[in-house]
Amino acid sequence: MTDNSPRVLLLVDWIPDKGSILMNSLRDAGLDCDIMGTNFHLSRWTPINKILSHWPKCLLVSIRAFHKRRDYDCILAWQQIMGMFLGSIKWVTGASVPDIFILTAIIVERHNPVQEWIRRKFISMACKKVNHIGFLSNAYQKIIQSRFNWPDSRTVLLKSPIILPQIPEFSGYRPDGYVYSVGRSCRDYHTLFAAARQCRQQFAVVTSREAVSGLSIPDNVTLHFDTFGKDADRLMQNCAAVIIPLNMDDSPAGELTLLEAMCYGKPVIITRTVITQEYVRHGENGYLVPLNDIHAMRQAVETIFSDDEKSLQMGKKAREMAMKNHSIDAFAKTIADTILGGRRSEVSDQRS
């Protein structure tokens, strides 16, 4: 980093007690980076808290960031809602600064046509003032570009990075272990539980009560509620394989859990989506199963436990792929290259 390094402000939905892995990587990539966040607690996540607590806090952070707009060349929004709020503030005030970069765009289409129309109007308005929008896969980028008519110049491919405090040691496939699943939003536990009933293996599921409300729990499934940090890490470490059932195939979901499982060297079963099909090579470093397919999910579990050596090698390949293609440093470099490229274009335009 030099005296002429672009100044950027990173907006996140947490208050980092000991810095930020992403902030440090952005600095290493040549950006003069500061950070601002909220005091959001994952343990309190519910749809109501998201609307009544999380979003208002994100709005306040966005307003604070806007007040500092002349101190920075660009504001990076890890949470897209912060980028949308900033874009809206720029639109309302007519401001030309700051540049805004949304790092992970996840725009789920609603089935309610009125709700979807309102959301599209808001997103279109907000993003008129957003300079760059990051996407987690080529396929998803094309879907959203088509939906909102966004040009290539405003979109950037930013595959999910590994954001673990430290890369875990390889623990790999454990033939005597259980099948592990974790997650709250966009999870299809109905299909998972139906598949589990047909399996002889034990399953451990970390989720919220809301995510499994109304579902019948099989005898071979143990639920863990409000489990985070080291307790969740131990469950991941000691399992045989990881399964991530998703309830939609045209939107991002489950990528961070997928990458964490790969880092541990676990064979992974995950629903085939526009995102996961670019992360997993079926039969090589994991298994992709069709949406809502109970039979395919059960068969994938049985396949993993039928060949210990193949499953161990599959986990090793998964770890190699994650470490090679999804490092936080590569993620930060792409962001830095985009910002630096934009500044070079501005200088060239001024000279011409």
Cα torsion angle, 130, 158, 12, 34, sign: negative
**Considering the domain 7-161+327-351 in this protein, what is its CATH number?**
3.40.50.2000
CA atoms within 13 A on the CB side of 105: 32
- The tokens 């959001």 sit on which residue? 40
The per-residue pLDDT for range 63-86, each reduced to its tens digit, is 999 999 999 999 999 989 999 999
- What is the CATH topology of the domain spanning 179-325? Rossmann fold (3.40.50)
Structure tokens at 205: 């599921």
Residue 116: CB atoms within 10 Å? 13
Q: Is the pLDDT of residue 265 over 90?
A: yes
pLDDT band at 41 (very low <50, low <70, confident <90, very high): low
Q: pTM score, two decimals? A: 0.86
The reply to whether 179-325 shares the fold of 7-161+327-351 is: yes
The per-residue pLDDT for range 304-352, each reduced to its tens digit, is 999 999 999 999 999 999 999 999 999 999 999 999 986 545 544 444 4
Listed by start position, the domains of the chain span 7-161+327-351, 179-325
What's the pLDDT at 63?
96
